[in-house]
Amino acid sequence: MAKKSIADVDVSGKKVLMRVDFNVPLDDELNVTDDRRIRMALPSIESVLDRGGSLILKSHLGRPKGKVKPEESLKPAAEKLAELLGREVAFATDTVGPDAQAKVAALEPGGIVVLENVRFAGEEELKDEAESTTDEQRAAKKAFAEKLGSFADIYCNDAFGTCHRAHASMHTVPLLMEGKPKTVGFLVQKEIQYLNDAISSPERPFIAILGGAKVSDKIKVIKNLLGVCDKVLIGGAMAYTFSLAQGGKVGQSLVEKDKVDLARELIKEGGDKLVLPIDTHCGDEFKNPNCNKVVVPAGEIPDDYEGFDIGPETAKMYAEIVKSAATIVWNGPMGVFEVPPFDAGTRAVAEAIAESDSISIIGGGDSAAAIQQFGLADKVSHVSTGGGASLEMLEGKDFEALQVIDEA
């Protein structure tokens, strides 16, 4: 899925409309508490500025759902970007309104403006195909997208975290920018390289490790990866639904009883490719590190206990399997990694991945948080910036937001 990169186009003297993911956490004083997503966009931003282009940045923050919420303004993100770049960054108090138009018109080569939160506009997340969507709303969405597209000579998508969403700023805008270059930034380019290309032709053995709470969240991922992987290792709370499907005792563990038949089908379909835990680390009080604890064989959790992590034998077994891998994809923790000692399983898997010589791809969300927490992010090949997007790419889904980008 090779797409034209922002590096492939001449930006000198031109305006680039770049969709970034500045959905950063803010504290009560509206200060950015984690600037990782802004820093991840810097290579694409600096590439345009250093080559004499000017930039119009658009992003969402939070879930305002079409309402203007001062606590979800992008102004703090714009200020953090200015600090990181060491140069002035203009901020428009609207997205396509008078202030945005004025600040875009005033842009000089090397200049940069951040538009206000695109999700303050109801048109951003409007679903064209929904039965409840009226023709008037569709026309408003098109007009919104046309205004955004008219700001620039070049479009660039560097927001992987929302690539699985066919939102106006992701899909409609480039679709309507006819005759203008449509590119991806370095961040999205790297995500495609690892999550799509590496999986479509992986070096083998190819091992997937899937954790998290619900089988239902990862049904399609499991099915897709069983078709392409040599082994799929299961951890997290969803392992207890599989355990229940095998007739095991799960105590007070989180299970999806309505997905037991599905888990049974996946066990049958997966055969020896699907690897389940052989022991479980349990506790009798959620998120209490001082609770009573016991390690039991899988499927033998006491009635008053809840499974919080894979057990030490499973961790050892998974680490051995990981050592033999040439390609590894990991999405979802093995347990309640935020609460020691129930972080042991997730830590063991993370360390085994970090110590291997494999191509190692860490899905976004909790997996990314865990690898960062353990200080191992620089020991793996790639840490995805998009939890939901990485999952859907692992499912093998096509993204409309990427289909409208020019081919390389």
* Catalytic site residue from 142, 214, 220, 264: 214
Please tell me the predicted confidence (pLDDT) of residue 95: 97
Q: Quick check: is 37 catalytic?
A: yes
**Domain harbouring 217, CATH code:** 3.40.50.1260
Please indicate, yes or no, if residue 278 is contained in any of the structural domains: yes
pLDDT in tens, the chain (408 residues): 789 999 999 999 999 999 999 999 999 999 999 998 999 999 999 999 999 999 999 999 999 999 999 999 999 999 999 999 999 999 999 999 999 999 999 999 999 999 999 999 999 999 988 889 999 999 999 999 999 999 999 999 999 989 999 999 999 999 999 999 999 999 999 988 888 777 788 999 999 999 988 888 888 889 889 999 999 999 999 999 999 999 999 999 999 999 999 999 999 999 999 999 999 999 999 989 999 999 999 999 999 999 999 999 999 999 999 999 999 999 999 999 999 999 999 999 999 999 999 999 998 778 888 999 999 999 999 998 877 888 888 877 889 999 999 998
Please tell me the predicted confidence (pLDDT) of residue 391: 80
Please indicate if the annotation marks 135 as binding a ligand: no
**Which domain-ending residue is among 125, 156, 186?**
186
Say yes or no: 257 and 161 in one domain. Answer: no
Number of structural domains, the chain? 2
* Catalytic site residue from 332, 365, 386, 387: 365
Say yes or no: 114 and 90 in one domain. Answer: yes
Please indicate if the annotation marks 63 as binding a ligand: yes
* Catalytic site residue from 3, 14, 19, 37: 37
Please indicate if the annotation marks 51 as binding a ligand: no
Please indicate if the annotation marks 366 as binding a ligand: yes
Say yes or no: 313 and 365 in one domain. Answer: yes
Say yes or no: 301 and 174 in one domain. Answer: no
Please indicate, yes or no, if residue 99 is contained in any of the structural domains: yes
Say yes or no: 181 and 233 in one domain. Answer: no
Q: Quick check: is 365 catalytic?
A: yes
Instruction: Give the closest residue to 151 by CA, choosing from 81, 99, 100.
Output: 100
Q: Quick check: is 347 catalytic?
A: no
* Structural domain span for residue 35: 6-186
Q: Quick check: is 214 catalytic?
A: yes
pTM of the complete model: 0.85
